[in-house]
Amino acid sequence: MTQSVQTSCHGPVPVETEGMPLVVLVGQPNVGKSVLFHHLTGIYVTVSNYPGTTVEVTRGKGRVAGDEFAVMDTPGMYGFLPITEEERIARRLLLEERPSLVIHVVDAKNLERMLPMTLQFIEAGLPLMLVLNLMDEAERAGVQVDEDVLQRALGIPVVKTALARGQGVEAVRAAVAAALRGDTSPRQSPAVIRYPDQIEQAIDRLSRALQGEHSLSRRMIALLLLQGDEEIVAMVRQREPNPEDVLRAVEEGRQAFADTPMLEIALALRLRAAELAGQAISVHAPAKPGISARLSEAMMNPLTGILLLVFTLFLVYEFVGVLGAQVLVDFLENGVFAAYVNPWVDALLGRVVPWPWLRSLFGGEFGIITLGIRYAVAIVLPVVATFFLAFSLIEDSGYLPRLAMLIDRVFKKIGLSGRAVIPMVLGFGCDTMATLVARTLETRRERVISTLLLALAIPCSAQLGVMLGLLGGDVRLLAVWTAVLSAVFLLVGYLAAQVTPGERPVFYMELPPLRLPTVGNVLSKTAARMEWYLREVLPLFVLASVLIWVGQLTGLFDLALALIRPVMHWLGLPDQAATAFLFGFFRRDYGAAGLYDLQATLSARQLLVATVTMTLFVPCIAQVAVMFKERGWKVAVGILVFVVPFALLVGGGLNRVLLWLGMM
């Protein structure tokens, strides 16, 4: 069974759904599957306006007419034959689970492009329902759809919706109820499409050779085998009584075609889809290309695009770096914790706890409340909250795919395609989530390079926020910090591209329409991410306080500090900075928060060296876990072994350069 990893600030808690009928949501990327999942289950999974938002399966529970059913949200897939890892995950689900209902969510205005997949689901014998979503956009584009025509031609229920506006949700629920009450055993696939004779004959012969039990129709298995689908070949070897006979039949079938019949099959599907769409759709004079078309154009024009990028970064800085990291942090840190919480906790402990050793667990310099909770709530939370809010707006607008196009040429120099812009930018929110999203990249080389860069040079929102708070008072420092990190990013990327073997990256991506972010989604997403964040960070921060407490009692803490001190000297930092770096091993943001406490005692040069080193330093535990799981231990260990000494090298080097320049 596919289980989603719950390692970090990116996923909801799993739900128990044993024994319930299963409804699976599938379809092309960016069509509204995750919005529908939220409507059916009440569970929020990330919804954003770019293809490839969902990269793992989420399971939830829905209820219609008193009956409970399990619902699964899946990553978008482009076709029935998967290419990238997240597509493979979605299809594996269809091969392994026996869903009672499969809901194919599509973009109504691009029906012709969507229907080939619908036809394939029907051919596969899956119990299917079609949801024509984004009807509001279709209508604005002058597209009208007659769902009855489709319903009759395809023999499946068809529902029109505009899910982001809540339209049609009741109709979907009613259709789900009807489908779950009805017969859900595997169906005889209706003849929705006929391929060229040669292919039909090959399918017939192969279907007859198949004897095992499969979750897909024999016709579909035959089609996939003819197209050389390796996962299906493996399945045949496992489940067929005489796999060799089948594979020989596949070879014979394929001989009739120069290469594979892939192109012919795709064309036949597409022609049939065009025919169906032609019957079901009428197009009226669409609205004139409006402001969104012009904005889209401005985002992609290099000149205006770069101006817009700078302007966006400036707004984000004002909101996160100034409002979040300075105003709000100052208020919570000085106005709340220093003024009320900490003195109150210490006073209370002084009264009720007679033993100083126990008092120091909760209060004092490193206590759970006075340090752990204070860091999490007063220093990190305001920044994370403002960042996620600003970030949601950007994600939902559709800006990121356009940025990907704009930056593709630069990224090629570091061995990545423009598509990698998406995990890189997500990394500024949460590096762990971003490492997972690197799944959507096509080649292993791109996945490895982006994992390295995320681990090294992309500070997550928590860390970024504290850095902004530390350096934000002085624009020059911030400029140097940004310049050093950008240089490291490009240089390491460039070198990694030289030494990592593999194919050259290519770039192609769908540009979704620009959309006006909805208040509801922006707030839900921000709230969900803050919740995930706190759920991960609070326990770790508390744990760190406890470990430090144990370390202090046993003297190990001082020993560790003594070991780190020479490193501090190499960096030109004072002895106290060792504490922050020790914290940094737990989480970079925790370490950065440690620097926050030292702020007053550091010179500008020391501040710069400390923040640069800390930013490059070890990634957080959750990120390391995902690195191991997604990229394998060799890559993960390799990256870690590189990152720590490299961070210290850059920090020490920067210190010497700054000293030599006599700048600070």
Partner 1 sequence: MTLLLSSSVTELPLSSAGDVPLASLRVGQEGVVTVLAMRDEARLRKLMALGILPGARLRLVRRWPGYVFQIGFSQFAVDEDIAGAIYVRPLDASAAADL
Ligand X SMILES: Nc1nc2c(ncn2[C@@H]2O[C@H](COP(=O)(O)OP(=O)(O)OP(=O)(O)O)[C@@H](O)[C@H]2O)c(=O)[nH]1
Binding positions for Mg ion, rule: CB under 5 A: 33-34, 53-54
- Cβ proximity to partner 1: between 305 and 382 the closer is 305
Site pattern 189..228 for partner 1 (x: CB under 8 A) = ---------------------------------------x
How big is the chain, counted in residues? 664
Partners of 26 in the β-ladder: 104
Least distance in Å: CB of 279 to partner 1? 9
Q: Which does 274 bind (CB under 5 to 8 A by kind): partner 1, ligand X, Mg ion, none?
A: partner 1
Least distance in Å: CB of 121 to Mg ion? 18
Candidates 9, 101, 169, 277; binder of partner 1 (CB under 8 A) is: 277
Question: Cα(629)–Cα(5) distance, rounded to whole angstroms?
Answer: 10
3-state secondary structure of 210: coil
Least distance in Å: CB of 75 to Mg ion? 7
Question: Cα(167)–Cα(257) distance, rounded to whole angstroms?
Answer: 47
- Cβ proximity to Mg ion: between 90 and 232 the closer is 90
- Binding-site ranges for ligand X (CB under 6 A): 29-35, 47-49, 51-54, 75-76, 133-134, 136-137, 162-165, 396, 515, 521
Residue 299 Cα distances to 247, 304, 308, 319, 379, angstroms = 50, 7, 7, 21, 34
- Cβ proximity to ligand X: between 44 and 337 the closer is 44
Q: What kind and span of H or E run contains 332?
A: none
Q: Which conformational region is residue 616 in: left (phi greater than 0), alpha (psi within -120 to 50 degrees), or beta? A: alpha
Candidates 62, 401, 423, 619; binder of partner 1 (CB under 8 A) is: 401
Q: Which does 133 bind (CB under 5 to 8 A by kind): ligand X, Mg ion, partner 1, none?
A: ligand X
- Tell me if 271 contacts partner 1 by CB under 8 A: yes
Candidates 95, 174, 266, 309; binder of partner 1 (CB under 8 A) is: 266
Looking at residue 628, what DSSP letter applies?
Answer: H
Q: Using CB under 8 A, which of the segments 240-248, 274-282, 476-484, 523-531 binds partner 1? A: 274-282
Query: 114, 79 in Cβ contact below 8 A?
Result: no
Place of tokens 């579909």: 220
- Cβ proximity to Mg ion: between 33 and 218 the closer is 33
- Tell me if 298 contacts partner 1 by CB under 8 A: no
Residue 4 Cα distances to 71, 75, 113, 156, 533, angstroms = 14, 12, 30, 30, 17
Question: Cα(102)–Cα(25) distance, rounded to whole angstroms?
Answer: 6
499 C-beta neighbours (distance < 10 Å), count: 8
- Cβ proximity to Mg ion: between 45 and 620 the closer is 45
Nearest to 325 by CA among 610, 596, 529: 596
356 C-beta neighbours (distance < 10 Å), count: 10
Within residues 48-107, the interface with partner 1 by CB under 8 A covers 78-79, 81, 83
Least distance in Å: CB of 53 to Mg ion? 5
Within residues 98-157, the interface with partner 1 by CB under 8 A covers 109-110, 112-113, 116-117, 141, 143
Q: Using CB under 8 A, which of the segments 166-174, 255-263, 362-370, 527-535 binds partner 1? A: 255-263
Q: Which does 231 bind (CB under 5 to 8 A by kind): partner 1, ligand X, Mg ion, none?
A: none
Least distance in Å: CB of 145 to partner 1? 11
- Tell me if 417 contacts partner 1 by CB under 8 A: yes
Question: Cα(384)–Cα(330) distance, rounded to whole angstroms?
Answer: 15
Question: Cα(116)–Cα(340) distance, rounded to whole angstroms?
Answer: 63
Least distance in Å: CB of 163 to ligand X? 4
Query: 40, 23 in Cβ contact below 8 A?
Result: yes
Least distance in Å: CB of 410 to ligand X? 25
Question: Cα(172)–Cα(175) distance, rounded to whole angstroms?
Answer: 5
Least distance in Å: CB of 511 to Mg ion? 18
Candidates 313, 358, 483, 506; binder of partner 1 (CB under 8 A) is: 506
3-state secondary structure of 566: helix
Q: Which does 333 bind (CB under 5 to 8 A by kind): ligand X, Mg ion, partner 1, none?
A: none
Place of tokens 């993960």: 636
Q: Which does 408 bind (CB under 5 to 8 A by kind): partner 1, ligand X, Mg ion, none?
A: partner 1
Copy the structure tokens of residue 542: 């508390």
Q: Where are the beta strands (DSSP E) in 17-171?
A: 22-26, 58-64, 67-73, 101-107, 128-133, 143-145, 158-160
- Tell me if 234 contacts partner 1 by CB under 8 A: no
Question: Cα(300)–Cα(401) distance, rounded to whole angstroms?
Answer: 10
Query: 432, 5 in Cβ contact below 8 A?
Result: no
- Tell me if 278 contacts partner 1 by CB under 8 A: yes
**128 backbone dihedrals φ, ψ, rounded to 5°:** -115, 150
Q: Which does 52 bind (CB under 5 to 8 A by kind): partner 1, ligand X, Mg ion, none?
A: ligand X
Least distance in Å: CB of 60 to ligand X? 13
Query: 109, 141 in Cβ contact below 8 A?
Result: yes
Nearest to 41 by CA among 103, 88, 95, 108: 103
- Tell me if 376 contacts partner 1 by CB under 8 A: no
Query: Residue count at the site for partner 1 (CB under 8 A)?
Result: 51
Q: Which does 450 bind (CB under 5 to 8 A by kind): Mg ion, partner 1, ligand X, none?
A: none
Q: Which does 263 bind (CB under 5 to 8 A by kind): Mg ion, partner 1, ligand X, none?
A: partner 1
What residue type is assigned to position 574 of the chain? P
Query: 106, 33 in Cβ contact below 8 A?
Result: no
Q: Which residues bind partner 1 (CB under 8 A)?
A: 78-79, 81, 83, 109-110, 112-113, 116-117, 141, 143, 228, 260, 262-263, 266-267, 270-271, 273-274, 277-278, 281, 283, 285-286, 296-297, 300-302, 401-402, 404-406, 408-409, 412, 417-418, 442, 504, 506-511
